């Protein structure tokens, strides 16, 4: 079985380390311990802190490892920094108030055996409500008949019809990682998929519940987006994503802001 690194980002908004946040971190480690009961490969855990706010120090041999990012510390930048420190062939992303299905990594390994050319394996995400009850599913639409050119695979054509995909909990081939673009904000998942599929990377959704996503947790990325972006703002950013996926790098912020204005 493949060794996998689990990246858990903490941003400027989530590093006050209240009792709730510490509880989330402990819950992450408990959930990962449960995953190890079903997976024989190594699962390496790396928490990513803004450097100036990190209350932890660690050595490479510690479990988990704590990385300190001296640069920009928004969610996308924290992930990009974390990937620079990944030494395994595959990695995944976990938000600290979410949970994996304990059998998710085993499911990944079962499908990897016949899909070694896939760059990204996504789970069906279960979105939870404020009471942490199941609310809706994400990524499952790709299994609808005639939705994509090959059932189960997200391709460039199907992204012209739907943008409702989430990459959290997905397992990425490290060598194929393209980097998130912070300037795209709420549409960063969509922009990444456009860029990846445009480069002919294969993105496969395993038809199993693999990840439980709490969008109402304290200081979560989802909560910030819900609070800061209106529906109109969100649509403009998705349109921006369609204009920016052709560029490999996140472009100068002045250019991005100019494009946002033109979409107004």
Q: Does pLDDT of 136 surpass 60?
A: yes
Instruction: Give the pLDDT band of residue 218 (cuts 50, 70, 90).
Output: low
Q: Does pLDDT of 115 surpass 80?
A: yes
> What sign for the dihedral angle of Cα 203, 187, 126, 105?
positive
Q: Please enumerate in sequence order all residues whose Cβ is within 8 A of that of 127, keeping only pairs 6 or more positions apart, or say none.
A: 134, 135, 136, 137, 138, 213, 215
| Phi and psi, residue 33, nearest 5° | -60, -40
Residue 73: DSSP 8-state? -
Q: Are the CB atoms for 19 and 58 separated by under 8 Å?
A: no
Q: How many CB atoms lie within 10 A of CB 21?
A: 18
For the chain, give the mean pLDDT. 86
Q: Does pLDDT of 14 surpass 80?
A: no
The top-scoring range by mean pLDDT among 62-71, 109-118, 136-145 is 109-118
Confidence at residue 22, expressed as pLDDT on a 0 to 100 scale: 75
Confidence at residue 116, expressed as pLDDT on a 0 to 100 scale: 93
Confidence at residue 219, expressed as pLDDT on a 0 to 100 scale: 62
The end-to-end CA distance of the chain, in Å, is 49
Q: Are the CB atoms for 221 and 134 separated by under 8 Å?
A: no
In angstroms, the CA 156 to CA 149 distance is 9
Q: Are the CB atoms for 168 and 93 separated by under 8 Å?
A: yes
Instruction: Give the pLDDT band of residue 124 (cuts 50, 70, 90).
Output: very high
User: In order of start, what are the domains of the chain with their CATH numbers?
Assistant: 4-262 (3.90.550.10)
Strands 43-50 and 65-69: parallel
Instruction: Give the pLDDT band of residue 180 (cuts 50, 70, 90).
Output: very high
Q: Does pLDDT of 226 surpass 80?
A: no
| pTM of the predicted model as reported, rounded to 2 decimal places | 0.89
Q: Quick one: average pLDDT of 10-16?
A: 64
Q: Which of 121, 102, 92, 125 is nearest to 4 (CA)?
A: 92
């Amino acid at each position: 079985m493949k060794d996998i690194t689990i990246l858990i980002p903490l941003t400027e908004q989530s590093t006050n380390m209240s009792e709730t946040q510490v509880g989330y971190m402990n819950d992450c480690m408990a959930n990962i311990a449960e995953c190890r009961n079903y997976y024989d490969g190594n699962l390496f855990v790396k928490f990513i802190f803004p450097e100036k706010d990190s209350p932890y120090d660690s050595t490479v041999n510690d479990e988990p490892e704590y990385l300190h990012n001296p640069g920009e510390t928004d969610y996308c930048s924290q992930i990009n920094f974390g990937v620079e420190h990944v030494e395994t062939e595959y990695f995944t992303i976990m938000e600290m108030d979410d949970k994996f299905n304990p059998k998710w990594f085993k499911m990944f390994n079962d499908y990897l055996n016949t899909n070694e050319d896939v760059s990204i394996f996504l789970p069906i995400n279960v979105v939870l409500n404020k009471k942490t009850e199941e609310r809706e599913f994400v990524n499952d639409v790709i299994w609808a008949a005639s939705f994509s050119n090959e059932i189960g695979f997200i391709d460039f054509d199907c992204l012209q019809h739907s943008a409702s995909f989430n990459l959290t909990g997905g397992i990425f081939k490290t060598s194929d990682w393209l980097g998130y673009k912070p300037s795209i904000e709420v549409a960063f998942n969509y922009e990444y998929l456009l860029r990846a599929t445009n480069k002919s990377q294969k993105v496969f959704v395993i038809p199993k519940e693999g990840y439980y996503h709490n969008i109402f947790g304290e200081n979560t990325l989802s909560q910030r987006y819900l609070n800061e972006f209106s529906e109109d703002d969100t649509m403009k950013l998705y349109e921006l994503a369609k204009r920016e996926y052709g560029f490999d790098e996140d472009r100068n912020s002045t250019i991005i802001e100019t494009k946002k204005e033109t979409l107004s």
